[in-house]
Chains A and B, each alone.
Chain A
Amino acid sequence: MKSKPIVMDHFSTIHTSYVLDFEFTNNITILTGSSATGKTVSFSFIKECMAINPSIVCFNYLDYQKDIKKLISEETGKLIVIDNADILLDDDTRKYISLDDKNQYLIIGRTPKKSVCYQ
């Protein structure tokens, strides 16, 4: 079963000459693709928005040593954006995300949907 986005159904930002524009139709959005197609640079543009938008929380490989599941379980009403999801999310965290009804997710990686089930 899929669920509607609970934090935002649209996100848009501009970074110099680049425009990033997302329409979210589910609470968990998976962004995947070949290498060098702009996934991580899109993440960096969203991360920049953390400075002005308190609804956004971002994680990437720099957070490798942190307890990601604990950190996201402490959040409510956030769009949680996770790059490098293939190495950052263990099965336990993926399961937590699939059942989380307090936050919305944008997950970026090669096969980040492995073990993540839509609600």
Chain B
Amino acid sequence: MDVLQQLVNGLSLGALYALIAVGYTVVYGIVQLINFAHGEIFMIGGFGALAVWLLFPAGNVSIWMLPLMLFGGVVAAVGVALLTERFAYRPLRNAPRLAPLITAIGVSIFLQELIRLFYGDIPGFPDSKRAIPFPQIEYVTGPAFNMGGLTIQRAALFTLVALAICAGLLYVFVNKTRLGRAMQATSQDPDTARLMGINVDKIIMVAFALGAALAAVAGLAHGLRYTNVDFRMGFLAGLKAFTAAVLGGIGNINGAVLGGLVLGVVEGMATFIPGQFGGSAWKDVWAFALLILVLVFRPQGLLGARVVDRA
């Protein structure tokens, strides 16, 4: 039963990684850029949701706040992602690949510090040394469900359901719609896509926006689950999600979802490693050890890389 419990914990953690990882993979599939600022987009999604909550009379925890907060998070994340694309990455479209990569790291630091600047202005909230408490919304947080010894946190369940819905919508969008087909075409051959009348700049913006929207969902889920948000939270989450994307095969959307879930489960199962190497202190080590193993033995990832389409 313990194994089952850790499996559930791992899956819900993995769902969070998966939601963020999709953003890495979609953008990489189209512009071959590892957008290291994507973790910060996730963080901004969380803060956007918090900001909407703060706009309303204090202490409102009813369930109808949830869609409003989600909307706020998505707007903030998509807005910031599009701005970074327009002003940081687009001018470097034809530069050597290292230039946008370094820029992405710069953007990441810039966004973290930008959010930190707001800390002092939020009434009643602590300084930058402490995390900001995230509102607890009825139904999606609160007492955990108990099923025959298995404990499932409500927020964890929320994350899993959110991933299932997002992954389903994403699949339909990429495979069944005109814009999705244009995205596949652009990722396979941008020049030919242009000659088919596809506005490649627009497709790149769609890719950034899509990734940011899912990251915002993850940001909200993270806030509900860990009951706080923090300007630094995007760093490690982003790194883990990047790992998940590489694990599944970077550029492959299904792979990102699978990679996230696998990574989460591995972290969960790390608890069972005996002695000092087990437990939560070492879970990051095992997660990144898995990444190294995959890179050595299957560099294209679990599902193969570089194609934003069927595995």
Are chains A and B native binding partners rather than an unrelated pairing? Answer: no
